[in-house]
Amino acid sequence: MRTAPTILHLDMDAFFASAEQASKPSLRGKAVVVGGLGPRGVVATASYEARVFGVHSAMPMAQARRLAPNAAYLVPRFGFYRAISEQVMGLLRALSPLVEPLSLDEAFVDLEAGGAAWDEASARLAGEKLRADIRAVTGLTGSVGLAASKMLAKIASEQAKPDGLVVIDPGSEREMLGPMSVRILPGVGPATGDHLRRAGIHTVDEIVEAGEDELVRLLGKAHGHGLYAMALAHDERPVVAERETKSVSVEDTYDVDIHDRMRVAMEVQRLADRCVRRLRGAGLSGRTIVLKVRRYDFSTLTRSETLRGPTDDVAVVREAAARLLESVDTTGGVRLLGVGVSGLADYTQEDLFAQAAGDLGEVAEEDAGEVDAERVEVPAERRFAAGHDVVHAEFGHGWVQGSGLGRVTVRFETPDSGPGRVRTFRVDDAALAVAEPLPLVPVEGGAAGLRPDLVSHPHHP
């Protein structure tokens, strides 16, 4: 491990929800939940105000609504978040050529590789400047962790939340980790945590005391060895610069093992939908569909099927994933499911299925609740998703508060205005149209968009 805390981990604070609050003045300081609004929807991100009520990511949306009935529930705007993410990643790449993105809102940076830091003082300075730059460019906040390894840098950024910076000095790792819960270590989710608790292991120090052999007995060879090394603060993994995408995948880990076969099948279908949305968002298609299943005993199975040609058709991916699931025994319970597509290409093979039929058959999970109410009278192109941008010929830019029964309610406000007025229209109102998101930070000349090269000054939500 290094002798200086020159590995940085950035985690944007409640990213999706914070972006929505910055975009919508009436939601600032209020509970906001972003995710799938359909009957099988899950929470993608909850604002800190919503977390007070117990709402958290990966929670079923129905449960979130019970916990926080008065929160604002919004459909994700992934293109909007991706544009902000590109701005943030650009700032990280200005620090170092070694940037390892983990998601839209999270990444590791090797500061030493870019000459941005070489000791504790220079690393802290780089981290503070990065936080200030992110606020200036995006109007949002991010938390920064600095340490001598990736694992510890990520733990530090968790401690820094929200909107802070924490440095873990090399040599202090064992003392810092010792009294912490085992859940602080990567790979220790609810199921592993419960398994260790039943064995009388609650803290990182108790993992070390139990010894490597006991952990292997409890968790299996790979998991046991890895967890013991992390408890000793050993992590030699390098920061790996972003490579060309070889696959697109999504997965969910469940707090409680899923035993019902129908529920497992529904989760696989939902993951297939998410995977295709991500695939299309990247302008890609793929030939090989992959299903990943981690069972109750931590055994992980993968199954794959290769098609005749690349596709981005949700019906094709759904059906392939369902076929793959048929070959997997889930009797004892499932703790993780994933669906992926590999063998990527930038084109699709139209003759696999009628693409038009697939497009008509695909209904985004987030819109499912509204679609049912409007099915008879509203054409697909006139559906308005909660939280998405619209523009009215008379009243200007706004966002959808809700829609159904042929009506859409819009709040007219922009990132730089105060809370706006609410008006309701028929969904077929010719003056109302879907719009592109406005920038969170004012740009030169007032042009819309999220171009980092046009940023002029910070906007503080």
Which residue numbers are catalytic?
106
Pairwise CA distance, residues 44 & 61, whole Å = 9
Tell me which residue of 59, 61, 130 sits closest to 92, measured CA to CA.
Answer: 130
Three-point CA angle 372, 374, 379, nearest 5°:
115
Cβ-based neighbours of 423, under 8 Å, separated by 6 or more: 392, 395, 409, 410, 412
Query: Quick one: which of 356, 432, 355 has its CA closest to 397?
Result: 432
Contact present, 19 and 87 (Cβ < 8 Å)? no
Three-state SS at 97: coil
DSSP structure class, residue 455? B
Q: Which residues contact 350 (CB under 8 A, 6 or more apart)?
A: none
Which residues neighbour 218 within 8 Å (Cβ) at sequence distance 6 or greater? 195, 196, 199, 224
Could you tell me how many helices (H) and strands (E) the chain has, helices first? 15, 17
DSSP 443: B
Who's near 226: CB < 8 A, 6+ residues apart?
187
Which of these, 356, 416, 461, lies nearest to 140 by C-alpha position?
461
State the burial class of residue 229 (Cβ atoms within 10 Å of its Cβ: 0-12, 13-18, 19+). middle
Q: Is 429 helix (H, G, I), strand (E, B) or coil?
A: coil
